[in-house]
Amino acid sequence: MNCRICGHDAEPFMSFGKMPIANGFLSPDQYDDEYFFELAPIFCINCSTFQLLEQPDPKMMFHDEYAFFSRTSKNMAKHFTEFAQSVMDGYLDDVSPLVVEVGSNDGILLDNFAKAGIRHVGVEPSGNVAEVARKHGVNTVTAFFDEDLVADVVSEYGQADALIAANVMCHIPDIHAVVQAAEKLLKPKGVFIFEDPYLGSMIEKVSYDQIYDEHVYIFSASSVANIFIHHGFELIDVVPQVTHGGSMRYVLARKGARDVSEVVAKQIETEHALGLHKRETYDQFRLNCEESRESLIRLLKEKRAEGASVVGYAATSKSTTVLNYCGIGPDLIDYISDTTPMKQGKFSPGTHIPVKDHDTFKSDYPDYAVLFAWNHEKEILANETLFMQSGGSWIVFVPCVSVRTE
Ligand code: DWN
C-alpha cells in the first residue's frame, strides 16, 4: 500500500482483524447485513504518518444517524470553552473576525464563539448532530468541508481568521484536499488550529482502542509538520492536551506569516527520543496490544468463573475495537451502560452486547464495570462513588489491565 500523504510504500505492521463500523450500533434484524472491513494500521517511515490501511466509505460512518454527540461530557464542555478562549485571545482580528469549524458536531466548541457574539460557521456532515447545534444557536451548515463549501463561505462571510477542528482531522482521509480548501479560506495571517488524539500517548499507554474506522490517522507533531509543509503551511505551536487520553493541539500558519514557537522543535525531538519514527516501535506496540488483549480476556474469564456480574461502562467508539479484537461478547459482558439515547436498546457493533441506559446500571450495580470511557475516568469516578461504595470495582485496560477497588 502507498502512504496516503506522500505515496511512499508503507506496509501494515499488525491487523486487528475484521472490524465493524465503530458507531454502528444495531438491532438484531440488521445482524445479517452487518458490514466488516480489515482494521490494520500502517506507518509511513518517509513522512512519519500513522494511518489505516483501509477505511470504510465516510458515508457509512457519518450520516443522519451518527451516534456520537460531543455534549455528553461536562469536562469536554469545559475543555472546549478553554480552547475557544485561547483562539479568541491569540488569533482573531479586532474587527469582525470569522471562525470556521470543520466537523462542528453538536456545536459544543462554536457555542463559545456564538455566546461571545463572534461570527462563526460550523461545517458538519451528520445532519442529526448539526440540527442539535442549530437548536443551540450555532450557525451550522450540513456539509463536508471542501473547496466548494469554502467558496460559498468566503462569498457570504469573507475570509476567516481561524479554521478550527477538534477530533476531526484524524477522520478525514483526503487531508490534502482539506488543506487546499483551508488555504483558500484563511486570511494571509489566518491560522488552522486542530487537536486530535496524540500518537505518542497512544504508543506509550498502549491505548490501541484509538484505532478504529473513523480514525484514519493518529497524528504526531512530526507528521503534521510534514503534511502541511507541502501546502506552504508551517507548524507554529503545539499544545499537549489531557483530553481523549492524551491529545495534541496543532497551530499552523502560512510559512513566514507568524512566529514559530520553540516548543515545536522540542516536541519533534521528544518524538525522536520516543522512537516514533522507527518501525521497531510499532512492532513493539503490536506485542503490547497482544499482551493487553490476553490479560483482559484472562481477567474477564476469571471473573465469570467466579460467578461475578460484569458490565461495560460507556459504549464508546473505542470499545468496538477492544470488544472485537479481544472477541468479547455477551458471554463475558452482560450489557453496556450508556447515556446516549440513540445507542440504548441497540447492540454493540460486531459483538452484539446489549446497550442499556444508565438507570439500569444505577438500579442494580454489577460486581465489575469495564471502563470503556477510560478517557473520562476522573468525571466518571466522581459521578459513580455509590457504585464503589456498594462494593463494585472497575476493570481498566489502559495503560494496563487491572481491577480498581478505590
Ligand atoms: O473522535 C471521536 C471522539 C472524540 O469521540 C469520535 N470518532 C467519536 C467519539 O469517540 P468515543 O465514542 O470513544 O468517545 P467518548 O467520549 O470516549 O465516549 C462517548 C460515549 O460514552 C457516549 O456514547 C456516551 C458515553 N458516556 C457514558 O455513557 N457515560 C460517556 C460518559 C462521559 C459517561 O459518563
CB of 243 sitting under 6 A from ligand 1 = no
CB of 247 sitting under 6 A from ligand 1 = no
CB of 317 sitting under 6 A from ligand 1 = yes
Identify which of 63, 68, 381 to mutate to test ligand 1's pocket (most ligand atoms within 8 A of the CB). 68
CB of 320 sitting under 6 A from ligand 1 = no
Interval 107-116 mean pLDDT: 97
Identify which of 104, 218, 376 to mutate to test ligand 1's pocket (most ligand atoms within 8 A of the CB). 376
313's enclosing H/E stretch is strand 310-313
Yes or no: say if 217 and 236 are a contact pair by the CB < 8 Å rule.
no
Q: How many residues does the chain have?
A: 406
User: Percentage of residues in the chain with pLDDT exceeding 90?
Assistant: 92
**Ligand 1 center from residue 317 Cα (angstroms):** 7
Predicted local distance difference test score (pLDDT) of residue 75: 87
Rg (C-alpha) for the chain, rounded Å, is 21
Atom of ligand 1 nearest to the CA of 343: 23
**Ligand 1 center from residue 315 Cα (angstroms):** 7
Q: Where are the alpha helices (DSSP H) in 233-384?
A: 263-273, 279-305, 317-326, 358-363, 377-383
156's enclosing H/E stretch is helix 147-157
CB of 73 sitting under 6 A from ligand 1 = yes
Three-state secondary-structure class, residue 87: helix
- Is residue 62's pLDDT more than 80? no
CB of 340 sitting under 6 A from ligand 1 = yes
Alpha-carbon distance of 184 to 159, in angstroms, equals: 8
pLDDT tens-digit series, residues 357-375: 999 999 999 999 999 999 9
pLDDT tens-digit series, residues 169-216: 999 999 999 999 999 999 999 999 999 999 999 999 999 999 999 999
Predicted local distance difference test score (pLDDT) of residue 61: 80
Atom of ligand 1 nearest to the CA of 75: 32
CB of 338 sitting under 6 A from ligand 1 = yes
pLDDT tens-digit series, residues 278-297: 999 999 999 999 999 999 99
Mean pLDDT taken over the chain? 96
Yes or no: say if 124 and 103 are a contact pair by the CB < 8 Å rule.
yes
What pTM was estimated for this model as a whole? 0.95
CB of 339 sitting under 6 A from ligand 1 = yes
- Is residue 7's pLDDT more than 70? yes
Q: Nearest 5°: phi and psi at 122?
A: -100, 140
**Ligand 1 center from residue 207 Cα (angstroms):** 15
Identify which of 19, 62, 72 to mutate to test ligand 1's pocket (most ligand atoms within 8 A of the CB). 72
**Ligand 1 center from residue 316 Cα (angstroms):** 5
Q: For the residues of 3-66, what is the DSSP string, one character each?
A: -TTT--B--BS----EEE-TT--B-GGGGGG--EEE--EEE-TTT--EEES----HHHHSSTT-
CB of 61 sitting under 6 A from ligand 1 = no
Q: Which residue has the cell 453496556?
A: 336
Predicted local distance difference test score (pLDDT) of residue 60: 83
Per-residue DSSP letter, 349: T
Alpha-carbon distance of 154 to 130, in angstroms, equals: 20
Q: For the residues of 172-235, what is the DSSP string, one character each?
A: -S-HHHHHHHHHHHEEEEEEEEEEEEBHHHHHHHT-GGG-STT-SEEB-HHHHHHHHHTTTEEE
Whose C-alpha lies nearest to ligand 1, atom 25?
314
**Ligand 1 center from residue 263 Cα (angstroms):** 30
Predicted local distance difference test score (pLDDT) of residue 286: 98
User: For residue 341, which of 361, 323, 356, 319 has the smallest C-alpha distance?
Assistant: 356
The residues, ordered by sequence, that sit 6+ positions from 385 with a Cβ below 8 Å of its Cβ are: none
Predicted local distance difference test score (pLDDT) of residue 71: 75
Whose C-alpha lies nearest to ligand 1, atom 34?
380
pLDDT tens-digit series, residues 206-235: 999 999 999 999 999 999 999 999 999 999
- Is residue 64's pLDDT more than 80? no
CB of 356 sitting under 6 A from ligand 1 = no
Predicted local distance difference test score (pLDDT) of residue 94: 85
Predicted local distance difference test score (pLDDT) of residue 67: 64
